[in-house]
Every structure is written in structure tokens, then in C-alpha cells.
Amino acid sequence: MKAKIPISFLSILIFGFMAAAIYMSVRILFLFLLTGYNPVEMAFAVLLILAELFVLIHGIGYIINIFKSRKKTEFASPVKMGIEPRVAILVASRHEPRWILENTFISIKNLNYKNKEVYFLDDSSDENYKREADGLASELGLIIFRRDKRRGAKAGIINDCLKGLDHEYIAIFDADQNPLPEFLNSVIPILEADKRLAFVQTPQFYTNIENNRVARGAGFQQAVFYEYICEGKGTHDSMFCCGTNVVFRAEALRSVGGLDETTVTEDFATSLKLHSSGWKSLYYDHVYAFGMGPTDLAGYFKQQFRWANGTITVLRRVILKLITKPRSLSISQWWEYILSSSYYFIGLAYFFLMFCPILYLLFRVPSFFVNPEAYVFSYIPYILLSMGIFYTLLGSRNYKLKDLLCGQLLGVCAFPVYIKGSIFALFGLKSVFGITGKASGKPVYFIHLWPQLTLILLYIISIEWGINRFIHEREPAILVNAVWALYHLLVLSSIFYFNQRGSFNIACKMLPSNIKFEYRILNDIIEVGNLSRLSWQLCFKAHFSQKVACGSLVTCKLYLSKDHPIIFEARVIDCSLRAVRGKYEVALGVSVVPESDKDNLRKLLGQR
Amino acid sequence: MIKKALLLSQLKDLIENEKMLVPLLNRHISSALFFSGIDTKEQEKIKERFQAMVLTQTQHVEALLRIKEDVEGGSGDVY
């Protein structure tokens, strides 16, 4: 869905660049030439300017990718090949629920590509999961692979499995990625057409975005990455592997010793090795696999910590390689690798940008380093044009402002995770991210959100203090900083929006009390947290006299009249934890209802 | 011609696919409509069609299960 960039937009881009240049010049000029700051003030000033420069450089990188993405990549057409090359499909898993794996393997088994073998790399140590994996493998005809000694997590088990394979191509999927039937038929001809191509990466696409705020935010962050950024990288052999929905040439992977096991982002580190060995890569911008995003802040933070920690670990190698072997990559590749591997310093940049108004309002440490009028007049065109460019471009691809904002807000809320991930990576510290043991779709305890909540509290105090100061001092700079504090307060407050139970049952109406309702809870439970509303034909709420587990199957009987019951099956999609007057409020999703009764049931439940 | 054992195994695969793959892909594609830029009302219509497809799929499963039972109970080994 590539859209042509119109001339009018190009002129906005040029104005955007000019506005950014003017803004940064004004900042730097005032900072170094026209102020008389003491060393402490100067230190904060430099940190703030660095944070702004960091954001600006990544913004420029984004714009460059937009231009690069205009270069049309010719892909080999997905024709039926005479002799299909052998493909090994690897899915690594450790303690994944059966229903997730079942969905993945049933999709993989249905790939319209005959010459494939599906390997289930089960790294579980728990006997129950092992038994489940064995059962699934025998039911679906999968080749199960296990190892005695765990090493190198996902990369380790893939490498161990790779030793026994002689396939030409290796497709890798995460345990929750469901490919469409034509995936291999489209990707393999591309690899066949260019023997120096090490891998073809396709996008990740979350589909549990409709009923989960965190998944939605994460989904839109992914969308921003996979649209112009990856398209741009893909045109200059700078696309790195994202770990799933990817097909490797086995020869290329073997030539660099398999996946890199020394970082938690083995995909990114392996891509660097491949590119510096002269292999090429490609981004195929067609969604061929659907998956699920993190459903709560705990899961999201864990994912972001891993990415931040892994990519910044690779940054150290990128810099070392740049110094020792500057010719191993092209200028364009170095630029992209430095941008991608340094991106997660954004946490530190966010922090400085957010902390400066507090410093000014509470401790009088200046934060804008110019007179307020010059600041406002140079900043406003810069921010309006840069935001305008971003939203217009993604808007041209049908992304809505509020959805993109959702992704951005979630990213800002993750700033402590990015900081921790980058600091641990910089100093080579080993760490597993702390928030664990939460069930899917559940809020995290506020204690885990102390950095965000502390800043929120400081904003409230500093805004109030700032108002007092303004009344007495009449200094416009106080107002500018108070506005910034208010802005950051609103942005960070979105943590409360994201840290909520899945809002699945909000649209379900309570069953009217005059309708007779009987139910029987069956001993059949599935995971329902990630299912979309479309999984259910209807939904409603009712009162149960007992507590019932989410995902339970319930046979229901609703009486249209005394002699006319409607019998149907439903799943519990949510249940209150505490009884009110001996009753538990339960949200039910109707899964099976006779066609002849469907309209009656709709009427009864007051739904169209 | 097909031997009974092979036919039964293929029927089993078909039933699994009908039971799982159709609703799964339906769910994913319905969600993907979110990004399509199609008007919300149109999206709802498309989703209703998808839903109808899932209902048809339950009929397919029932039909396939009946065929499987017939084959299992039948005396012939070649079909």
C-alpha cells in the first residue's frame, strides 16, 4: 500500500527541515554564546540539548527512510515453482499454552507449499508442557526437537536444531505467529531470484488490537516501524531480521555460525554479522502472518526491556566494528545500524525532556536557554511541522491520529524500561526484567510504576508551585515551563489508561432481570484473553451464584416464553472477583446458537 | 481411489482445519480491516459476512464428521 508523496508534501518536508534547523540553531546559539550559566545549569542545558538532538537525528532518519521507501523494489513474482526448494519451518517455544501453539501449527501446516517440514522446538522444562507438546506434535504430524542442555534461549535451540538440517531455507516463526497460506509461495521465489540474499523479512501484525489497549498501542508502534522505516531500510540492504516471519537462506545462516546467542536480540546481532559478511537482506512489505501483541503493561515492558537491552548491546559492537572495520558496511548501512541500535536511548531523552520543567519550576534551573519569546517562536513551527509530517504520512496509509497517539503515549510510559535496558546493556549487566507472574490482560501493581507515578506527583507539585511563582514573579518563562509540565503530566497519566483490565466486556449489556436464565458450567476451559469480540456472536452479562473461571464453557438456557427456551453455548469472557449480595457478575460470549433462534436471542438481549 | 486409513487421516485433517483455521483466519483478517481505511459501517458489513462464513464452517464440520463416521463404520477399504 505504497502511496506517492505529493509535491505539496515535499515542500512541507523542506519547511520542516528549515524549522528544525532554525530551532536547534537558536537553542545552541543562546546556550553557548548568550547566557551566563553556572556549571550545574550548563550541565543540564547540555543534557537537554543532547536529548533534543537525539530526537531530531532520529526524526531525520525517519524522513530519509520515507525518501528511500519511494524507490520501488522489484520482487520476484509469487509463481508456482517447478521444484520447490526444501524449507524447514522452525517454531521455538518454552512453556507456551497449547491453544497458542495449536493456532500457530495449524496455520503452518496449511501453508500451500509442499516441500516443507515443520519443526517444533520445545524448550520447556516443565513436564506438563512437554506432554502437551508431544500430544500436539503427534496430532498434527510435527517433528519435535528437544535438547539436553539449555543454552542461548531461542537462538540456542534454533542453532542446535540447525546442525541436523540440510534444507535450503529456514523459516522462523514465533510461537504466536499465524502465517497465511501463501507465505512461502511468495517469499521463496524472492530468495531463489537472488543468491546473495540472506533473508527476507515480512511484517509483524498484531490482531488483538480491538479489545486491548496495550496491544493496540504496541500494534501501532509496530505499524510505524514496519511502514516507512522498514521499507526504507529494505531498499539499501539495511533491513535487519526481526526474529519471526522471516525466511533465511540456510547457507547464509551457517556461514556466520548460526544465530548470535550472545544477546537477547539475536535477530538484530545476526543481521549485523550477515551484512558485514557481504550478504544482502530484503523487507517484503506484505502482511503474511498475524500475531498477538502484549496484552498488559507487564508483558509490554518485558518485551521493550528485551529489545532495548539487546539492541544497545549490539550498538557497542556496531561502534567497535565501525572503528576496526569501517569498510565492512556501506555508509547507508552504518547509518541505519547506528540509528536502530541507539534508538532505545529515547528513554533517557524522554526523561531529560520531561524532567527539565520540574527543575525550572521547583529549583529555578533554566530549561529553555533562550528568552521565552525566541523559544516559543522557534519551537512552535518546528513541532507543528514535524508532527504534521509524521501524522500526514501515516494518515495517507489510513492510520488515524488517535491510534498513532495511543502508540506514542504507550512508548513514553515505557521510558523507565528503556533507561534500565540501555544502562544494563551499556555496562554489560545481566538482568531479567522484574515484573513477572501476572496473568494475561491484568493490571500491574502501582509499585512497579513508581518512576511514572513519581514524575506525575512532581508535575502536580511543580505546576502548583509554578502558578504561585508566576503570581509573584510575573516571569513568562514560568508559564512556558508550567505548560510543559502540564503537557507531560497529561502524557504520563495515560499510564492509568493502559494499566487496566482488558476492556472486553464493556459493550456487553446486563441480561434484563425479568428474563429467566439457567446455566450449567462445563469442565472445559480455554484462554479467551486474546480473542477478539468477533469470536462471539453476541455477548451479555448475567449474575452467577458461584465464581467461575474465565474461558469456561457454559450451556445456557434463556426463556423466550414459558414453553420456549433458547439453548446455546457461551464462554465466560470476564468474571467479577468478588460477589455482591452473593452474586458474581459474569460476561458471556455466545459461541454456538441455533440459526433459528439467533434473531430471538438478539431481541431478548436487546442487541441488533 | 483411496485407502480407508488415508481417507480417514485426510478427513481428520480437514475437520481440524475447518474447526480451527477458518475462525482463526477470520479473526485475524477481521482485525486487519481496522487498518484498511474502509468506512466503519462497511467494515461491520464485511465482518458480518466473515461471521456468516464461520457459521457455514460449523455446518461443514458436521458434514465432515458424518462422512468420517460413515467411513469408519463402513466395511470397504478402498473408496
A177 to chain B: nearest residue by CA?
B28
**More confident call, B68 vs B51:** B68
Q: Which three cell numbers stand for residue A473?
A: 514573579
A161: left (phi over 0), alpha (psi -120 to 50) or beta: alpha
Q: Map out the domains of chain B as residue ranges.
A: 4-73
Q: What is the pLDDT of residues B18-58, one digit of tens each?
A: 877 877 787 788 777 877 778 878 888 887 777 777 777 77
CA distance B27 to chain A (A): 7
Tell me if chain A has a CB within 8 Å of the CB of B10: no
Tell me if chain A has a CB within 8 Å of the CB of B26: yes
Q: Round the average pLDDT of chain A to a whole number and report it.
A: 86
Q: What is the pLDDT of residues A389-402, one digit of tens each?
A: 888 888 888 888 88
CA distance B40 to chain A (A): 12
- Across-strand partners of A542? A586
Residue numbers in B near A223 (CB within 8 A): 35
Tell me if chain A has a CB within 8 Å of the CB of B21: yes
pLDDT band at A335 (very low <50, low <70, confident <90, very high): very high
**Whole-number Å distance between alpha carbons of A29 and A23:** 10
CB contact under 8 A, A110 and B17: yes
CB contact under 8 A, A398 and B36: yes
**A533-562 burial, b for 16+ CB within 10 Å, e for fewer?**
bbbbbbbbbbbbeeebebbbbbebebeeee
**Whole-number Å distance between alpha carbons of A52 and A23:** 10
**Residue A515 has what pLDDT?**
84
Q: Tell me the range of A61-70, A328-337, A588-597 where mean pLDDT is highest.
A: A328-337
Tell me if chain A has a CB within 8 Å of the CB of B49: no
pLDDT band at B60 (very low <50, low <70, confident <90, very high): confident
CB–CB of A548/A581 below 8 Å? no
CA distance B60 to chain A (A): 14
Residue numbers in B near A399 (CB within 8 A): 35
CB contact under 8 A, A207 and B37: no
Facing B34 at nearest CB: one of A178, A210, A595:
A210
CB–CB of A342/A313 below 8 Å? no
Q: What is the pLDDT of residues A125-156, one digit of tens each?
A: 888 889 989 999 998 889 999 998 888 889 99
Q: What are phi and psi of A585, to 5 degrees?
A: -85, 125
**Whole-number Å distance between alpha carbons of A344 and A280:** 25
Tell me if chain A has a CB within 8 Å of the CB of B27: yes
Lowest mean pLDDT: which of A331-340, A381-390, B21-30, B67-76? B21-30
Q: What is the mean pLDDT of residues A571-583?
A: 76
**Residue A10 has what pLDDT?**
74
Q: Please, what are the domains in chain A?
A: 7-70+346-498 (no CATH), 87-293 (3.90.550.10), 505-604 (no CATH)
Whether the pLDDT of residue A373 is over 50: the answer is yes
Q: Look at residues A510, A389, A381, A282 and name the one whose alpha carbon lies nearest to residue A62.
A: A389
Q: Look at residues A246, A258, A253 and name the one whose alpha carbon lies nearest to residue A283.
A: A246
Determine the 3-state secondary structure of A199 from DSSP: strand
Residue numbers in A near B34 (CB within 8 A): 209-210
CA distance A210 to chain B (A): 7
First-to-final CA distance of chain B: 5
CB contact under 8 A, A207 and B21: no
In chain A, what percentage of residues exceed pLDDT 90?
46
Whether the pLDDT of residue B1 is over 90: the answer is no
Facing A535 at nearest CB: one of B13, B27, B34:
B27
**Residue A1 has what pLDDT?**
44
**Whole-number Å distance between alpha carbons of A137 and A316:** 41
**More confident call, A601 vs A439:** A601
Q: What is the mean pLDDT of residues A4-17?
A: 71
First-to-final CA distance of chain A: 34
Residue numbers in B near A109 (CB within 8 A): 13
Lowest mean pLDDT: which of A112-126, A414-428, B41-55? B41-55
Q: What is the pLDDT of residues A20-55, one digit of tens each?
A: 888 888 877 777 776 667 788 788 888 888 998 999
**A130-151 burial, b for 16+ CB within 10 Å, e for fewer?**
bebbeebbeebebeebeeeeee
Q: Look at residues A339, A313, A316, A261 and name the one whose alpha carbon lies nearest to residue A422.
A: A313
**Whole-number Å distance between alpha carbons of A412 and B58:** 45
**Residue A119 has what pLDDT?**
96
Among B22, B35, B41, B49, which would you mutate to test the A interface (most chain A Cβ atoms within 10 Å of its Cβ)?
Answer: B35
Q: How many CA atoms lie within 13 A of A112 on its CB side?
A: 12
Q: What is the mean pLDDT of residues A55-74?
A: 83
Residue numbers in B near A139 (CB within 8 A): 16
**Residue A531 has what pLDDT?**
62
CB contact under 8 A, A208 and B31: yes
Chain A residues with CB-CB distance to B under 8 A? 102-103, 106-107, 109-110, 139-140, 178, 180, 205, 207-210, 223, 287, 290, 397-399, 531-532, 534-535, 537, 592, 595
**Whole-number Å distance between alpha carbons of B15 and B63:** 9
Tell me if chain A has a CB within 8 Å of the CB of B73: no
Q: Which three cell numbers stand for residue A271?
A: 543481521
Q: What is the pLDDT of residues A429-449, one digit of tens each?
A: 876 655 433 345 678 889 999
pLDDT band at A333 (very low <50, low <70, confident <90, very high): very high
| CB atoms near residue A45 (< 10 Å) | 23
Helices (H), A325-414: 331-342, 346-363, 372-395, 401-413
CA distance A166 to chain B (A): 28
Facing A287 at nearest CB: one of B21, B32, B34:
B32
pLDDT band at A245 (very low <50, low <70, confident <90, very high): very high
Q: Tell me the range of A75-84, A483-492, A527-536 where mean pLDDT is highest.
A: A483-492
Count of pairs with CB atoms under 8 A, one residue in A, one in B:
56
CB–CB of A504/A533 below 8 Å? yes
**Whole-number Å distance between alpha carbons of A124 and A130:** 6
Tell me if chain A has a CB within 8 Å of the CB of B23: yes
Q: What is the mean pLDDT of residues A365-392?
A: 78
Tell me if chain A has a CB within 8 Å of the CB of B36: yes
